[in-house]
Amino acid sequence: MTIKNICCIGAGYVGGPTMAVVAQKCPYITVTIVDINASRIAAWNNEDLSKLPVFEPGLDNIVDEARGRNLFFSTDVDKAIDEADMIFISVNTPTKTYGKGKGMAADLKYIELCARQIAKVSKSNKIVVEKSTLPVRTASAIKSILNHTGNGVQFQILSNPEFLAEGTAIDDLLNPDRILIGGDDSIEGQKAIQALVDIYANWVSKDKILTTNVWSSELSKLTANAFLAQRVSSINAISQLCEKSGADVNEVAKAIGMDSRIGSKFLKASVGFGGSCFQKDILNLVYIAKTYGLNEVADYWEQVIIMNDYQKQRFSDNIVSTLYNTVSGKKITFFGWAFKKDTNDTRESAAIKVADNLLSEQANISVYDPKVVEERIYADLDYLGTRSENENKALLTVHNNPYEASKESHAIAVLTEWDEFKTYDWQKIYDSMYKPAFIFDGRGILDIQTLEKIGFVCYKIGSGAKI
Ligand code: UDX
Ligand code: UDX
């Protein structure tokens, strides 16, 4: 079976870049990305490529090449479903905010709506691919909806989790470590798997394309994110020991990372991990374990989140205690708001929690981030509901220039590891600040020796050389 027409439901951080790469690599396939959010689709269709709704290095060039040729963005969901041989579901699956599993389980309401819409519209057989990260056994729920409400149309359900990381999405998509495809054991199921393998084989070598049963594929995605997040919480736990004992977490990370069994990646201590996936997927894993009565398994993974929350809390506590136990009325400048560099995404960013804690201590915060827009920053804070929108606006200001942002501040906190922070004129920044001028490097990216020579008083995450 050769796929000629693909529809992707959900034009977000996953659906957009993934399908842009599929379209670029498979010019013979028409790829239509649909979304219920009309302004998002309008942004994807914007002539000005700097206005795409997702910022990813290299994405603009790919969209430029494929858009209008075989890549289309639309709000006409029904038409795109009807015309497609293969439908990717890439809608969000947030943590439930109500009812059973509140605060833990994934909310599958959007997935179910998609399945029902596919069932209603389809007039020909289709392969439905889960791209969203889902709890184990979701595929069987989708299958049940499709088979019971459809009109005699045959559906095959595949699980094809996405492993791209934001900021490096295009490179990850072009050169993936592996592609994982889960499907049914039946002949029809195997044919569907093969159809998806053939798409990826346009640019990924076959030995990197793994095929498994559906549930292994679903669980592998949750497990991969849980293991990655666990590494960050592990090194962050050690960063605390380093600060107390006088060791340096970067030296420890290097020493252990050279053990080929441990490996060197994902050992960068930080103010805490963020992003749309890690916390959500671990909570999901914890919930699944609990529903199977595996309480020890649930507790084990939950600790990864507890450590992450603590890392954020202790960062803001340290700022308060270092600034003579009060930040009330003091200006603190945040360099970075995104959850990591090279993205405009702020979901679950550590900066949000750190800011919220400091605002509760009546600090004035000024923020500079190279890519995150002002409305996003206020929306992130307002969403927490800790104080009114007006209070957030009064206490926090957003700047588009780092030198303006840091003028007359008591302290600078580095929340995101943007490369440009390393090359600023730090003397100029120092001269414009109140003294003592403090720096709290929550990402361990600045050259502390140089900064101390200028006169800054420095704290670096995981460094025993404390203030
Ligand atoms: C999301 C999840 O975060 C991730 O776990 C999952 O693997 C894939 O989906 P992301 O692309 O980052 O990843 O989410 P988001 O940027 O929120 O995009 C989802 C899009 O789906 C939104 O643009 C939303 O408008 C759209 N959507 C949602 C629909 O088109 N229809 C719906 O019914 C629900
Ligand atoms: C993650 C997974 O890496 C990806 O495979 C999956 O598809 C989606 O979830 P993402 O959240 O985009 O990707 O970014 P990632 O690079 O994993 O970083 C997540 C968070 O961990 C960021 O806040 C990052 O700053 C932090 N992190 C990462 C550290 O603090 N230290 C590290 O060593 C690595």
pLDDT tens per residue, the chain (467 residues)?
899 999 999 999 999 999 999 999 999 999 999 999 999 999 999 999 999 999 999 999 999 999 999 999 999 999 999 999 999 999 998 888 899 888 888 888 999 999 999 999 999 999 999 998 888 788 888 888 888 876 789 999 999 999 999 999 999 999 999 999 999 999 999 999 999 999 999 999 999 999 999 999 999 999 999 999 999 999 999 999 999 999 999 999 999 999 999 999 999 999 999 999 999 999 999 999 999 999 999 999 999 999 999 999 999 999 999 999 999 999 999 999 999 999 999 999 999 999 999 999 999 999 999 999 999 999 999 999 999 999 999 999 999 999 999 999 999 999 999 999 999 999 999 999 999 999 999 999 999 999 999 999 999 999 986 44
Instruction: Locate the ligand 1 atom nearest the alpha carbon of residue 161 and give its number.
Output: 7
Strands annotated E in 229-368: 331-335, 364-368
Residue 352 token pair: 């949000």
The preferred substitution site among 277, 279, 345, 347 for testing ligand 2, maximizing ligand atoms within 8 Å of CB, is 277
What is the residue with the minimal CA distance to atom 2 of ligand 1? Answer: 92
CA distance 192 to 72: 24
What pLDDT was estimated at residue 150?
61
Region for 298 from its dihedrals, namely left if φ exceeds 0, alpha if ψ lies in -120 to 50, beta otherwise = alpha
Entry pTM: 0.94
Say what the pLDDT of residue 465 is. 61
The DSSP 8-state label assigned to residue 409 in this structure reads -
Output the CA 441–ligand 1 centroid distance in Å. 32
Q: Is 277 a catalytic residue?
A: yes
Q: Could you tell me which residues are beta bridge partners of residue 212? A: 182
Q: Is the dihedral of CA 186, 187, 188, 189 positive or negative?
A: positive
Cα separations in angstroms, 99 against 92, 201, 284, 423: 19, 43, 15, 49
Alpha carbon distance 428, 407 (integer Å)? 9
CA pseudo-torsion sign 12, 304, 298, 223 = positive
Kind of pairing, strands 30-34 and 86-89? unpaired
- Judge whether 240 and 305 are in contact, CB under 8 Å: no
Q: Are 242 and 252 a contacting pair, CB within 8 Å?
A: yes
Distance separating alpha carbons of residues 8 and 34, to the nearest angstrom: 6
pLDDT of residue 101: 87
Question: Which residue bears the tokens 């819409």?
Answer: 117
Burial classification of residue 257, based on how many CB atoms lie within 10 Å of its CB (0-12 exposed, 13-18 middle, 19 or more buried): middle
Query: Shortest CA distance to 366 belongs to which of 401, 319, 338?
Result: 401
CA 13 – ligand 1 centroid, Å: 7
Rounded distance from Cα 455 to ligand 2 centre (Å)? 33
| Helix (H) or strand (E) run with residue 439 in it | strand 438-441
- The residue annotated as part of the active site, out of 7, 26, 242, 277, is 277
d(CA 188, CA 156): 7
Q: What is d(CA 135, CA 105) in angstroms, rounded to the nearest whole number?
A: 8
Q: Which two tokens stand for residue 50?
A: 């700097």
**Ligand 1 pocket by Cβ (under 6 Å):** 9-15, 35-37, 40, 90-93, 110, 113-114, 132-133, 162, 276-277
What residues flank ligand 2, with Cβ below 6 Å? 162-166, 225, 228, 232, 266-268, 270, 273-275, 277-278, 339-340
12 CA → ligand 1 middle, Å: 5
Ligand number nearest to the C-alpha of 349:
2
